[in-house]
A and B are shown apart, each in its own frame.
Chain A
Amino acid sequence: MNIIVLGAGEVGFHIAMRLAAEGHDIAVVDSDKERIQRVSDTMDVRTVLGNAAHPSILASAGAENCDLLIAATASDETNMLACQVAHSLFKVTTKMARVREPDFANCKALFGRDEMPIDLIISPEREAAKAIVKRYQVASAMDAQAFAGDRVQLLGMMIRPKSALAGIALSELPEVMGKNRVYVVAHEHNRRWRVPKPNAVLLAGDSVYLAAANSEVSAIVELLEGGKQEKNLKRNVMVVGGGNVGFAVAKELEQTGVSIKLIEYNKERASWVADQLKSTIVMHGDALDRDLLEEESIEHMDDFLALTNDDETNILSSLIARKYKVPHVVTLVNRAIYSDLVREIGLDVIVSPRFTTAASILCHVRKGRILGMSPLGDGTLEVVEAEALATAMILDAPLKSLKLPKDTVIGAVVRGEEVIIPNGETVILPHDLVVLVSRAESIREIERLFEVRLEFF
Protein backbone atom coordinates (compact mmCIF):
# COMPACT_ATOMS: atom_id res chain seq x y z
CA MET A 1 0.00 0.00 0.00
CA ASN A 2 1.04 3.58 -0.61
CA ILE A 3 0.62 5.46 2.64
CA ILE A 4 1.32 9.06 3.59
CA VAL A 5 1.84 9.88 7.26
CA LEU A 6 1.54 13.54 8.17
CA GLY A 7 3.37 14.53 11.30
CA ALA A 8 6.38 12.76 12.78
CA GLY A 9 5.53 13.19 16.45
CA GLU A 10 5.11 10.28 18.88
CA VAL A 11 2.04 8.84 17.11
CA GLY A 12 3.09 9.49 13.51
CA PHE A 13 6.63 8.25 14.02
CA HIS A 14 5.54 5.01 15.60
CA ILE A 15 2.92 4.28 12.94
CA ALA A 16 5.27 5.06 10.06
CA MET A 17 7.90 2.77 11.52
CA ARG A 18 5.46 -0.04 12.01
CA LEU A 19 4.00 0.27 8.50
CA ALA A 20 7.41 0.55 6.86
CA ALA A 21 8.52 -2.60 8.66
CA GLU A 22 5.56 -4.39 7.15
CA GLY A 23 6.74 -3.49 3.68
CA HIS A 24 4.37 -0.68 2.81
CA ASP A 25 5.45 2.27 0.73
CA ILE A 26 5.54 5.20 3.15
CA ALA A 27 6.06 8.94 2.84
CA VAL A 28 6.36 11.03 6.01
CA VAL A 29 5.66 14.77 6.01
CA ASP A 30 6.60 17.16 8.79
CA SER A 31 7.37 20.86 9.00
CA ASP A 32 10.18 20.39 11.50
CA LYS A 33 13.60 19.72 10.02
CA GLU A 34 14.95 17.81 13.00
CA ARG A 35 11.98 15.48 13.23
CA ILE A 36 12.22 14.73 9.51
CA GLN A 37 15.91 14.01 9.93
CA ARG A 38 15.18 11.58 12.75
CA VAL A 39 12.69 9.77 10.51
CA SER A 40 15.09 9.39 7.59
CA ASP A 41 17.82 8.23 9.99
CA THR A 42 15.69 5.47 11.49
CA MET A 43 13.53 4.05 8.73
CA ASP A 44 13.36 3.36 5.04
CA VAL A 45 10.70 5.85 3.97
CA ARG A 46 10.45 8.93 1.79
CA THR A 47 10.41 12.22 3.67
CA VAL A 48 9.00 15.59 2.72
CA LEU A 49 9.64 18.79 4.66
CA GLY A 50 6.79 21.27 4.69
CA ASN A 51 3.26 22.17 5.72
CA ALA A 52 1.24 18.98 5.60
CA ALA A 53 -1.96 20.59 4.32
CA HIS A 54 -0.43 22.38 1.32
CA PRO A 55 -1.42 20.88 -2.04
CA SER A 56 2.12 21.09 -3.40
CA ILE A 57 3.54 19.32 -0.37
CA LEU A 58 0.95 16.57 -0.57
CA ALA A 59 1.67 16.24 -4.28
CA SER A 60 5.37 15.79 -3.69
CA ALA A 61 4.61 13.22 -1.01
CA GLY A 62 2.87 11.23 -3.76
CA ALA A 63 -0.78 11.91 -2.91
CA GLU A 64 -1.81 10.98 -6.44
CA ASN A 65 -0.83 7.36 -5.83
CA CYS A 66 -1.75 7.27 -2.19
CA ASP A 67 -4.21 4.68 -0.82
CA LEU A 68 -4.25 5.88 2.76
CA LEU A 69 -3.58 9.23 4.39
CA ILE A 70 -2.88 9.39 8.10
CA ALA A 71 -2.95 12.99 9.32
CA ALA A 72 -1.30 12.99 12.73
CA THR A 73 0.30 16.41 13.08
CA ALA A 74 -0.06 18.28 16.36
CA SER A 75 -2.64 20.62 14.85
CA ASP A 76 -6.27 19.50 14.47
CA GLU A 77 -6.89 22.14 11.83
CA THR A 78 -3.94 21.08 9.69
CA ASN A 79 -5.03 17.47 9.91
CA MET A 80 -8.61 18.15 8.91
CA LEU A 81 -7.61 20.47 6.09
CA ALA A 82 -5.06 17.99 4.78
CA CYS A 83 -7.80 15.34 4.52
CA GLN A 84 -9.98 17.75 2.58
CA VAL A 85 -7.15 18.61 0.17
CA ALA A 86 -6.25 14.94 -0.29
CA HIS A 87 -9.87 14.19 -1.06
CA SER A 88 -10.68 17.07 -3.38
CA LEU A 89 -7.44 17.26 -5.33
CA PHE A 90 -5.99 13.77 -5.17
CA LYS A 91 -9.00 11.46 -4.62
CA VAL A 92 -7.24 9.62 -1.80
CA THR A 93 -9.75 6.96 -0.80
CA THR A 94 -9.09 6.46 2.89
CA LYS A 95 -8.29 9.36 5.16
CA MET A 96 -7.71 9.44 8.90
CA ALA A 97 -7.10 12.46 11.03
CA ARG A 98 -5.97 12.91 14.57
CA VAL A 99 -8.42 15.31 16.16
CA ARG A 100 -7.83 16.11 19.80
CA GLU A 101 -10.29 18.88 20.45
CA PRO A 102 -13.46 17.19 21.72
CA ASP A 103 -15.47 20.08 20.30
CA PHE A 104 -14.54 18.83 16.81
CA ALA A 105 -14.19 15.14 17.53
CA ASN A 106 -17.60 14.74 19.12
CA CYS A 107 -19.37 16.59 16.32
CA LYS A 108 -20.49 13.65 14.21
CA ALA A 109 -22.42 15.70 11.65
CA LEU A 110 -19.21 17.44 10.63
CA PHE A 111 -17.65 14.36 9.07
CA GLY A 112 -18.81 12.23 6.18
CA ARG A 113 -18.61 11.62 2.50
CA ASP A 114 -20.31 14.88 1.59
CA GLU A 115 -19.10 16.83 4.59
CA MET A 116 -15.52 16.86 5.76
CA PRO A 117 -14.21 13.68 4.13
CA ILE A 118 -12.51 11.91 7.03
CA ASP A 119 -13.09 8.18 7.41
CA LEU A 120 -11.66 7.80 10.86
CA ILE A 121 -11.18 10.35 13.58
CA ILE A 122 -8.23 9.35 15.69
CA SER A 123 -8.26 10.69 19.18
CA PRO A 124 -5.52 9.14 21.28
CA GLU A 125 -6.91 10.85 24.36
CA ARG A 126 -10.42 9.52 23.76
CA GLU A 127 -9.06 6.04 23.04
CA ALA A 128 -7.09 6.16 26.26
CA ALA A 129 -10.12 7.37 28.20
CA LYS A 130 -12.18 4.50 26.81
CA ALA A 131 -9.51 1.98 27.74
CA ILE A 132 -9.21 3.40 31.26
CA VAL A 133 -12.95 3.27 31.93
CA LYS A 134 -13.01 -0.30 30.62
CA ARG A 135 -10.21 -1.34 32.92
CA TYR A 136 -11.77 0.42 35.82
CA GLN A 137 -14.93 -1.65 35.44
CA VAL A 138 -13.06 -4.88 36.12
CA ALA A 139 -11.00 -3.61 38.98
CA SER A 140 -9.36 -6.83 40.03
CA ALA A 141 -8.14 -7.54 36.51
CA MET A 142 -4.95 -5.85 35.41
CA ASP A 143 -6.43 -5.36 31.97
CA ALA A 144 -9.78 -5.75 30.27
CA GLN A 145 -10.44 -5.28 26.59
CA ALA A 146 -13.78 -5.60 24.86
CA PHE A 147 -14.32 -7.09 21.42
CA ALA A 148 -17.17 -7.93 19.07
CA GLY A 149 -19.38 -5.06 20.18
CA ASP A 150 -18.74 -5.70 23.89
CA ARG A 151 -19.88 -9.32 23.66
CA VAL A 152 -16.43 -10.74 24.32
CA GLN A 153 -13.91 -9.63 26.90
CA LEU A 154 -10.25 -10.42 27.23
CA LEU A 155 -9.38 -10.27 30.90
CA GLY A 156 -5.78 -9.88 31.89
CA MET A 157 -5.19 -11.31 35.37
CA MET A 158 -2.30 -12.05 37.61
CA ILE A 159 -2.72 -15.48 39.15
CA ARG A 160 -2.68 -15.11 42.92
CA PRO A 161 -1.56 -18.02 45.11
CA LYS A 162 -5.13 -18.68 46.30
CA SER A 163 -6.62 -18.37 42.80
CA ALA A 164 -8.49 -21.34 41.36
CA LEU A 165 -6.12 -21.20 38.40
CA ALA A 166 -2.89 -21.61 40.37
CA GLY A 167 -1.16 -24.90 39.65
CA ILE A 168 -3.52 -26.25 37.04
CA ALA A 169 -2.82 -27.34 33.48
CA LEU A 170 -4.86 -25.76 30.70
CA SER A 171 -6.37 -29.14 29.87
CA GLU A 172 -7.91 -29.19 33.36
CA LEU A 173 -9.45 -25.77 32.93
CA PRO A 174 -13.00 -26.93 32.02
CA GLU A 175 -13.22 -28.83 35.34
CA VAL A 176 -12.19 -25.76 37.32
CA MET A 177 -14.46 -23.38 35.49
CA GLY A 178 -17.59 -25.54 35.47
CA LYS A 179 -20.28 -24.00 33.32
CA ASN A 180 -18.35 -20.76 32.81
CA ARG A 181 -16.33 -21.19 29.67
CA VAL A 182 -13.05 -19.38 29.21
CA TYR A 183 -10.12 -19.73 26.81
CA VAL A 184 -6.62 -18.85 27.94
CA VAL A 185 -5.19 -16.96 24.97
CA ALA A 186 -1.96 -15.64 26.47
CA HIS A 187 0.29 -16.71 29.31
CA GLU A 188 3.16 -14.88 30.95
CA HIS A 189 5.75 -16.79 32.92
CA ASN A 190 9.10 -15.29 33.95
CA ARG A 191 8.21 -12.10 32.07
CA ARG A 192 7.80 -13.84 28.73
CA TRP A 193 4.43 -13.75 27.02
CA ARG A 194 3.40 -16.76 24.99
CA VAL A 195 0.38 -18.20 23.32
CA PRO A 196 -0.06 -21.23 25.58
CA LYS A 197 -0.08 -24.86 24.46
CA PRO A 198 -2.75 -27.18 25.94
CA ASN A 199 -0.23 -28.78 28.30
CA ALA A 200 0.92 -25.45 29.77
CA VAL A 201 0.68 -25.22 33.56
CA LEU A 202 -0.40 -21.97 35.20
CA LEU A 203 1.56 -21.01 38.30
CA ALA A 204 0.93 -18.44 40.98
CA GLY A 205 2.65 -15.21 39.95
CA ASP A 206 2.05 -15.84 36.24
CA SER A 207 -0.30 -13.62 34.29
CA VAL A 208 -2.88 -14.74 31.79
CA TYR A 209 -5.40 -13.34 29.37
CA LEU A 210 -8.75 -15.11 29.34
CA ALA A 211 -11.33 -14.82 26.58
CA ALA A 212 -14.87 -14.98 27.94
CA ALA A 213 -18.41 -13.95 27.11
CA ASN A 214 -19.10 -10.52 28.57
CA SER A 215 -22.21 -11.83 30.28
CA GLU A 216 -20.11 -14.31 32.30
CA VAL A 217 -17.30 -11.99 33.32
CA SER A 218 -18.49 -11.21 36.83
CA ALA A 219 -19.20 -14.87 37.56
CA ILE A 220 -15.74 -15.77 36.30
CA VAL A 221 -13.95 -13.09 38.29
CA GLU A 222 -15.87 -14.18 41.38
CA LEU A 223 -14.91 -17.80 40.82
CA LEU A 224 -11.25 -17.01 40.27
CA GLU A 225 -10.78 -14.33 42.87
CA GLY A 226 -13.20 -15.72 45.42
CA GLY A 227 -15.95 -13.64 47.04
CA LYS A 228 -18.20 -10.99 45.56
CA GLN A 229 -16.59 -8.14 43.69
CA GLU A 230 -17.31 -4.79 45.23
CA LYS A 231 -19.85 -2.83 43.29
CA ASN A 232 -18.76 0.45 41.73
CA LEU A 233 -21.41 2.30 43.65
CA LYS A 234 -19.59 3.30 46.81
CA ARG A 235 -16.12 3.53 45.40
CA ASN A 236 -13.85 6.47 45.99
CA VAL A 237 -11.78 7.47 43.01
CA MET A 238 -8.96 9.97 42.80
CA VAL A 239 -8.11 11.32 39.35
CA VAL A 240 -4.92 13.27 38.78
CA GLY A 241 -4.99 15.58 35.78
CA GLY A 242 -7.96 17.38 34.27
CA GLY A 243 -6.68 17.39 30.69
CA ASN A 244 -8.52 15.75 27.82
CA VAL A 245 -8.03 12.26 29.21
CA GLY A 246 -8.69 12.99 32.87
CA PHE A 247 -11.73 15.08 32.09
CA ALA A 248 -13.22 12.46 29.75
CA VAL A 249 -12.65 9.69 32.27
CA ALA A 250 -14.15 11.68 35.16
CA LYS A 251 -17.18 12.55 33.06
CA GLU A 252 -17.71 8.92 32.14
CA LEU A 253 -17.20 7.65 35.70
CA GLU A 254 -19.61 10.22 37.15
CA GLN A 255 -22.39 8.38 35.37
CA THR A 256 -21.63 5.20 37.30
CA GLY A 257 -22.28 7.01 40.56
CA VAL A 258 -18.83 6.78 42.13
CA SER A 259 -17.40 9.56 44.21
CA ILE A 260 -14.54 11.32 42.43
CA LYS A 261 -11.87 13.77 43.50
CA LEU A 262 -9.89 15.34 40.69
CA ILE A 263 -6.61 17.23 41.13
CA GLU A 264 -5.57 19.67 38.41
CA TYR A 265 -2.37 21.71 38.42
CA ASN A 266 -3.50 24.55 36.17
CA LYS A 267 -5.81 26.95 37.98
CA GLU A 268 -7.85 28.04 34.99
CA ARG A 269 -8.28 24.51 33.72
CA ALA A 270 -9.29 23.40 37.20
CA SER A 271 -12.11 25.91 37.35
CA TRP A 272 -13.21 25.04 33.82
CA VAL A 273 -13.31 21.35 34.68
CA ALA A 274 -15.21 22.12 37.89
CA ASP A 275 -17.83 23.96 35.84
CA GLN A 276 -18.23 21.11 33.38
CA LEU A 277 -18.46 18.22 35.83
CA LYS A 278 -21.41 17.64 38.11
CA SER A 279 -20.59 15.59 41.19
CA THR A 280 -16.80 15.54 40.97
CA ILE A 281 -14.86 17.53 43.55
CA VAL A 282 -12.19 19.42 41.64
CA MET A 283 -9.09 20.69 43.42
CA HIS A 284 -6.39 22.97 42.18
CA GLY A 285 -3.03 21.65 43.28
CA ASP A 286 0.00 19.47 42.75
CA ALA A 287 -0.51 15.72 42.76
CA LEU A 288 3.00 15.22 44.11
CA ASP A 289 2.18 17.24 47.22
CA ARG A 290 1.72 14.59 49.88
CA ASP A 291 0.01 16.96 52.29
CA LEU A 292 -2.67 17.64 49.72
CA LEU A 293 -3.08 13.93 49.03
CA GLU A 294 -3.38 13.16 52.71
CA GLU A 295 -5.82 15.99 53.23
CA GLU A 296 -7.94 14.46 50.51
CA SER A 297 -7.68 11.12 52.33
CA ILE A 298 -5.77 9.21 49.71
CA GLU A 299 -5.58 6.26 52.08
CA HIS A 300 -9.32 5.73 51.72
CA MET A 301 -9.30 5.66 47.95
CA ASP A 302 -10.30 2.51 46.08
CA ASP A 303 -8.86 3.72 42.80
CA PHE A 304 -6.12 6.11 41.81
CA LEU A 305 -5.95 7.20 38.18
CA ALA A 306 -2.86 9.20 37.18
CA LEU A 307 -3.82 10.82 33.88
CA THR A 308 -1.86 14.04 33.40
CA ASN A 309 0.00 14.91 30.19
CA ASP A 310 3.24 14.41 32.02
CA ASP A 311 4.52 10.83 32.27
CA GLU A 312 6.86 11.57 35.16
CA THR A 313 4.08 13.08 37.26
CA ASN A 314 1.88 10.08 36.50
CA ILE A 315 4.53 7.56 37.45
CA LEU A 316 5.59 9.34 40.63
CA SER A 317 2.09 10.04 41.86
CA SER A 318 1.18 6.40 41.18
CA LEU A 319 4.08 5.28 43.33
CA ILE A 320 2.85 7.57 46.10
CA ALA A 321 -0.62 6.04 45.78
CA ARG A 322 0.96 2.61 46.08
CA LYS A 323 2.65 3.72 49.29
CA TYR A 324 -0.76 4.57 50.71
CA LYS A 325 -1.95 1.11 49.68
CA VAL A 326 -4.56 2.23 47.17
CA PRO A 327 -5.69 -1.14 45.80
CA HIS A 328 -6.15 -0.16 42.16
CA VAL A 329 -3.77 2.22 40.39
CA VAL A 330 -3.89 3.16 36.72
CA THR A 331 -0.96 5.02 35.19
CA LEU A 332 -1.12 6.80 31.84
CA VAL A 333 2.18 6.61 30.01
CA ASN A 334 2.79 8.31 26.67
CA ARG A 335 6.41 7.64 25.94
CA ALA A 336 7.40 4.18 24.77
CA ILE A 337 10.57 4.17 26.82
CA TYR A 338 8.62 4.29 30.09
CA SER A 339 6.16 1.48 29.36
CA ASP A 340 8.68 -1.25 30.15
CA LEU A 341 10.23 0.60 33.05
CA VAL A 342 6.94 1.10 34.79
CA ARG A 343 6.27 -2.60 35.14
CA GLU A 344 9.71 -3.10 36.61
CA ILE A 345 8.95 -0.74 39.46
CA GLY A 346 5.75 -2.52 40.29
CA LEU A 347 3.01 -0.47 38.67
CA ASP A 348 0.93 -2.86 36.68
CA VAL A 349 -1.92 -1.03 35.02
CA ILE A 350 -0.59 1.22 32.34
CA VAL A 351 -2.41 2.72 29.41
CA SER A 352 -0.50 4.06 26.47
CA PRO A 353 -2.59 6.16 24.10
CA ARG A 354 0.08 5.68 21.47
CA PHE A 355 -0.46 1.93 21.51
CA THR A 356 -4.22 2.02 21.41
CA THR A 357 -4.13 4.58 18.59
CA ALA A 358 -1.63 2.73 16.45
CA ALA A 359 -3.71 -0.40 16.79
CA SER A 360 -6.92 1.21 15.58
CA ILE A 361 -5.12 2.71 12.58
CA LEU A 362 -3.43 -0.53 11.65
CA CYS A 363 -6.81 -2.26 11.30
CA HIS A 364 -7.47 -0.19 8.22
CA VAL A 365 -4.35 -1.34 6.45
CA ARG A 366 -5.31 -4.97 6.72
CA LYS A 367 -6.83 -7.11 4.01
CA GLY A 368 -10.13 -8.78 4.77
CA ARG A 369 -12.53 -7.32 7.30
CA ILE A 370 -10.25 -6.84 10.29
CA LEU A 371 -12.36 -4.92 12.79
CA GLY A 372 -9.97 -4.47 15.63
CA MET A 373 -6.42 -5.07 16.72
CA SER A 374 -4.56 -4.38 19.88
CA PRO A 375 -1.36 -5.44 21.53
CA LEU A 376 -1.42 -7.78 24.52
CA GLY A 377 1.05 -8.21 27.33
CA ASP A 378 4.46 -6.80 26.42
CA GLY A 379 3.38 -6.09 22.84
CA THR A 380 4.80 -9.26 21.26
CA LEU A 381 1.29 -10.69 21.07
CA GLU A 382 -1.62 -9.17 19.25
CA VAL A 383 -5.38 -9.63 19.51
CA VAL A 384 -7.23 -9.51 16.23
CA GLU A 385 -10.96 -9.25 15.77
CA ALA A 386 -12.20 -10.03 12.26
CA GLU A 387 -15.34 -10.89 10.39
CA ALA A 388 -15.18 -14.11 8.39
CA LEU A 389 -16.63 -13.20 5.00
CA ALA A 390 -17.85 -15.66 2.35
CA THR A 391 -14.99 -17.37 0.41
CA ALA A 392 -12.40 -16.65 3.15
CA MET A 393 -9.96 -19.43 3.93
CA ILE A 394 -10.90 -19.67 7.60
CA LEU A 395 -14.42 -20.91 6.86
CA ASP A 396 -16.08 -24.29 6.82
CA ALA A 397 -13.39 -26.51 8.36
CA PRO A 398 -13.19 -27.62 12.00
CA LEU A 399 -10.56 -25.53 13.77
CA LYS A 400 -8.35 -28.55 14.49
CA SER A 401 -7.83 -29.13 10.77
CA LEU A 402 -7.30 -25.45 9.98
CA LYS A 403 -3.72 -24.46 9.24
CA LEU A 404 -3.25 -21.53 11.59
CA PRO A 405 0.08 -19.67 11.79
CA LYS A 406 2.39 -20.78 14.60
CA ASP A 407 1.36 -19.59 18.07
CA THR A 408 -2.16 -18.63 17.14
CA VAL A 409 -5.33 -19.41 19.06
CA ILE A 410 -8.94 -18.55 18.43
CA GLY A 411 -10.33 -17.44 21.78
CA ALA A 412 -13.94 -16.72 20.89
CA VAL A 413 -16.36 -16.81 17.99
CA VAL A 414 -19.44 -14.61 17.95
CA ARG A 415 -22.39 -15.73 15.85
CA GLY A 416 -25.17 -13.17 16.03
CA GLU A 417 -25.70 -12.70 19.76
CA GLU A 418 -24.19 -16.05 20.72
CA VAL A 419 -20.64 -16.20 22.09
CA ILE A 420 -18.90 -19.50 21.38
CA ILE A 421 -15.75 -20.42 23.28
CA PRO A 422 -14.39 -22.76 20.64
CA ASN A 423 -12.78 -26.19 20.68
CA GLY A 424 -11.18 -28.24 17.90
CA GLU A 425 -14.55 -29.21 16.48
CA THR A 426 -15.87 -25.66 16.10
CA VAL A 427 -16.49 -24.58 12.51
CA ILE A 428 -16.49 -20.91 11.52
CA LEU A 429 -19.38 -19.78 9.32
CA PRO A 430 -19.72 -16.72 7.09
CA HIS A 431 -20.31 -13.49 9.09
CA ASP A 432 -19.00 -14.96 12.34
CA LEU A 433 -16.80 -12.58 14.29
CA VAL A 434 -13.55 -14.20 15.32
CA VAL A 435 -11.36 -13.05 18.20
CA LEU A 436 -7.89 -14.52 17.98
CA VAL A 437 -4.46 -14.00 19.47
CA SER A 438 -1.21 -14.42 17.62
CA ARG A 439 2.36 -13.19 17.56
CA ALA A 440 2.72 -9.69 16.15
CA GLU A 441 4.94 -10.96 13.32
CA SER A 442 2.30 -13.43 12.10
CA ILE A 443 -0.27 -10.75 11.32
CA ARG A 444 0.24 -10.99 7.56
CA GLU A 445 -0.58 -14.71 7.67
CA ILE A 446 -3.64 -14.00 9.80
CA GLU A 447 -4.80 -11.49 7.20
CA ARG A 448 -4.64 -14.18 4.56
CA LEU A 449 -7.09 -16.33 6.52
CA PHE A 450 -9.68 -13.58 6.21
CA GLU A 451 -8.94 -12.36 2.68
CA VAL A 452 -11.79 -12.97 0.24
CA ARG A 453 -11.29 -14.69 -3.10
CA LEU A 454 -11.82 -13.20 -6.55
CA GLU A 455 -15.43 -14.32 -6.79
CA PHE A 456 -16.48 -12.33 -3.73
CA PHE A 457 -18.82 -9.52 -4.72
Chain B
Amino acid sequence: MNETFGIPVTPDHVLMGSEAQSKRALLTEMAGMLTSMDPDLVLEVIMAREQLGSTGMGHGVAIPHGRMKALNGPVVAVAIHEQGLDFDAIDDALVHIVVMLLVPDDDSKVHLELLAKLARLLQQDAVRTQLRQAKDAEAVVMLLLGK
Protein backbone atom coordinates (compact mmCIF):
# COMPACT_ATOMS: atom_id res chain seq x y z
CA MET B 1 0.00 0.00 0.00
CA ASN B 2 1.48 3.34 -0.96
CA GLU B 3 -1.25 5.83 0.00
CA THR B 4 -1.00 7.65 3.34
CA PHE B 5 -4.36 7.79 5.07
CA GLY B 6 -3.06 9.53 8.14
CA ILE B 7 -5.87 8.55 10.48
CA PRO B 8 -4.43 9.56 13.86
CA VAL B 9 -4.78 6.51 16.07
CA THR B 10 -2.45 4.90 18.61
CA PRO B 11 -2.28 1.23 19.68
CA ASP B 12 -3.73 1.98 23.14
CA HIS B 13 -6.88 3.23 21.42
CA VAL B 14 -7.43 -0.03 19.57
CA LEU B 15 -9.76 -2.63 21.06
CA MET B 16 -9.33 -6.21 19.86
CA GLY B 17 -11.23 -9.30 20.92
CA SER B 18 -14.04 -7.46 22.70
CA GLU B 19 -16.81 -9.66 23.99
CA ALA B 20 -19.39 -6.87 24.18
CA GLN B 21 -22.88 -8.12 23.39
CA SER B 22 -24.42 -4.87 22.23
CA LYS B 23 -23.70 -1.58 20.53
CA ARG B 24 -23.96 0.24 23.83
CA ALA B 25 -21.66 -2.16 25.68
CA LEU B 26 -19.02 -1.90 22.95
CA LEU B 27 -19.18 1.89 22.89
CA THR B 28 -18.87 1.92 26.70
CA GLU B 29 -15.77 -0.24 26.43
CA MET B 30 -14.28 2.00 23.75
CA ALA B 31 -14.99 5.16 25.73
CA GLY B 32 -13.17 3.50 28.64
CA MET B 33 -9.98 3.32 26.55
CA LEU B 34 -9.79 7.10 26.23
CA THR B 35 -8.09 7.61 29.56
CA SER B 36 -7.51 11.32 29.13
CA MET B 37 -11.25 12.01 28.90
CA ASP B 38 -14.34 11.49 31.03
CA PRO B 39 -15.62 8.17 29.65
CA ASP B 40 -19.19 8.86 30.81
CA LEU B 41 -19.23 12.12 28.90
CA VAL B 42 -17.78 10.48 25.78
CA LEU B 43 -20.49 7.83 25.89
CA GLU B 44 -23.16 10.46 26.39
CA VAL B 45 -21.99 12.49 23.38
CA ILE B 46 -21.66 9.43 21.16
CA MET B 47 -25.02 7.96 22.14
CA ALA B 48 -26.76 11.32 21.69
CA ARG B 49 -25.44 11.46 18.13
CA GLU B 50 -26.50 7.85 17.49
CA GLN B 51 -29.98 8.79 18.65
CA LEU B 52 -30.27 11.27 15.78
CA GLY B 53 -29.40 8.62 13.22
CA SER B 54 -27.17 5.55 13.28
CA THR B 55 -23.60 5.94 12.04
CA GLY B 56 -23.62 2.34 10.85
CA MET B 57 -22.74 3.15 7.23
CA GLY B 58 -23.14 -0.36 5.83
CA HIS B 59 -20.71 -3.20 4.95
CA GLY B 60 -20.14 -3.93 8.64
CA VAL B 61 -18.66 -0.51 9.41
CA ALA B 62 -19.78 2.19 11.86
CA ILE B 63 -18.19 5.56 12.54
CA PRO B 64 -19.78 6.91 15.73
CA HIS B 65 -18.67 10.49 16.23
CA GLY B 66 -19.28 13.63 18.19
CA ARG B 67 -17.96 16.95 19.40
CA MET B 68 -16.29 17.38 22.77
CA LYS B 69 -15.39 20.58 24.54
CA ALA B 70 -11.79 21.04 25.73
CA LEU B 71 -10.27 18.80 23.10
CA ASN B 72 -7.18 20.03 21.26
CA GLY B 73 -7.38 17.83 18.20
CA PRO B 74 -9.32 14.84 16.87
CA VAL B 75 -9.21 11.62 18.87
CA VAL B 76 -9.80 8.26 17.25
CA ALA B 77 -10.51 4.88 18.81
CA VAL B 78 -11.00 1.63 16.92
CA ALA B 79 -12.66 -1.67 17.78
CA ILE B 80 -12.68 -4.84 15.74
CA HIS B 81 -15.51 -7.13 16.80
CA GLU B 82 -15.27 -10.67 15.55
CA GLN B 83 -18.91 -11.78 15.98
CA GLY B 84 -20.41 -8.51 14.82
CA LEU B 85 -23.04 -6.39 16.57
CA ASP B 86 -26.41 -4.96 15.67
CA PHE B 87 -25.74 -1.25 15.17
CA ASP B 88 -29.03 -0.36 13.55
CA ALA B 89 -26.96 0.18 10.39
CA ILE B 90 -28.49 1.41 7.14
CA ASP B 91 -28.09 -2.01 5.50
CA ASP B 92 -29.07 -3.85 8.73
CA ALA B 93 -25.82 -5.82 8.51
CA LEU B 94 -23.89 -6.65 11.69
CA VAL B 95 -21.03 -4.27 12.38
CA HIS B 96 -17.48 -5.59 12.81
CA ILE B 97 -15.39 -2.45 12.45
CA VAL B 98 -16.13 0.53 14.68
CA VAL B 99 -14.10 3.71 14.40
CA MET B 100 -14.99 6.29 17.03
CA LEU B 101 -14.14 9.87 16.16
CA LEU B 102 -14.19 12.71 18.67
CA VAL B 103 -13.39 16.24 17.58
CA PRO B 104 -13.10 19.65 19.28
CA ASP B 105 -16.25 21.71 19.48
CA ASP B 106 -15.37 24.35 16.88
CA ASP B 107 -16.50 25.28 13.39
CA SER B 108 -13.52 23.80 11.60
CA LYS B 109 -14.26 21.95 8.36
CA VAL B 110 -11.27 19.69 9.06
CA HIS B 111 -13.43 17.35 11.14
CA LEU B 112 -15.88 16.76 8.36
CA GLU B 113 -12.99 16.05 6.02
CA LEU B 114 -11.53 13.54 8.45
CA LEU B 115 -14.91 11.82 8.70
CA ALA B 116 -15.22 11.75 4.92
CA LYS B 117 -11.71 10.35 4.61
CA LEU B 118 -12.54 7.59 7.10
CA ALA B 119 -15.74 6.77 5.27
CA ARG B 120 -13.94 6.60 1.91
CA LEU B 121 -11.22 4.42 3.36
CA LEU B 122 -13.62 1.98 4.96
CA GLN B 123 -15.69 1.69 1.82
CA GLN B 124 -12.82 -0.27 0.29
CA ASP B 125 -13.28 -4.05 0.53
CA ALA B 126 -9.57 -4.66 0.80
CA VAL B 127 -9.14 -2.32 3.77
CA ARG B 128 -12.06 -3.87 5.60
CA THR B 129 -10.75 -7.37 5.05
CA GLN B 130 -7.28 -6.43 6.25
CA LEU B 131 -8.66 -4.69 9.33
CA ARG B 132 -10.73 -7.70 10.29
CA GLN B 133 -7.74 -9.99 9.81
CA ALA B 134 -5.28 -7.75 11.65
CA LYS B 135 -3.52 -9.82 14.28
CA ASP B 136 -2.87 -7.04 16.78
CA ALA B 137 -3.40 -3.38 17.60
CA GLU B 138 -0.17 -2.31 15.89
CA ALA B 139 -1.33 -3.86 12.64
CA VAL B 140 -4.62 -1.91 12.84
CA VAL B 141 -2.75 1.33 13.48
CA MET B 142 -0.45 0.73 10.52
CA LEU B 143 -3.42 0.06 8.27
CA LEU B 144 -5.19 3.25 9.28
CA LEU B 145 -2.06 5.34 9.04
CA GLY B 146 -1.62 3.81 5.62
CA LYS B 147 2.02 3.08 6.00
Q: Which residues of A pack against B, CB within 8 Å?
A: 1-2, 64-67, 91-94, 113, 367-369, 389, 451-457
Contact = CB atoms under 8 A, between A and B. Distances in A.
B44 interface: yes
Nearest to A364: B51
Interface stretch (B6-14, B60-68, B128-136, B138-146): B60-68
A453 B53 contact: yes
B54 A94 contact: no
A367 B49 CA distance: 10
A457 B106 CA distance: 11
A67 B47 contact: yes
A1 B22 CA distance: 9
Interface of B: 20-25, 28, 40, 43-44, 47, 49, 51-55, 57, 63, 65-67, 88, 103, 111-112, 115-116, 119
B112 A457 contact: yes
A456 B21 CA distance: 27
22 contacts: A1-B88, A2-B22, A64-B22, A65-B20, A65-B25, A67-B23, A91-B28, A91-B40, A92-B24, A93-B43, A93-B44, A113-B44, A367-B51, A367-B53, A451-B53, A452-B52, A453-B53, A454-B53, A454-B57, A455-B112, A455-B116, A457-B115
A394 B44 CA distance: 26
A111 to B, nearest CB: 15
Nearest to A93: B47
Contacts of B119: 454
Nearest to B48: A93
A389 B22 contact: no
Nearest to A92: B24
Contacts of A456: 49, 52-53
| Residue among A367, A369, A457 facing the most chain B CB atoms (10 A cut-off) | A457
A455 B40 CA distance: 24
Contacts of B112: 455, 457
A92 B40 CA distance: 10
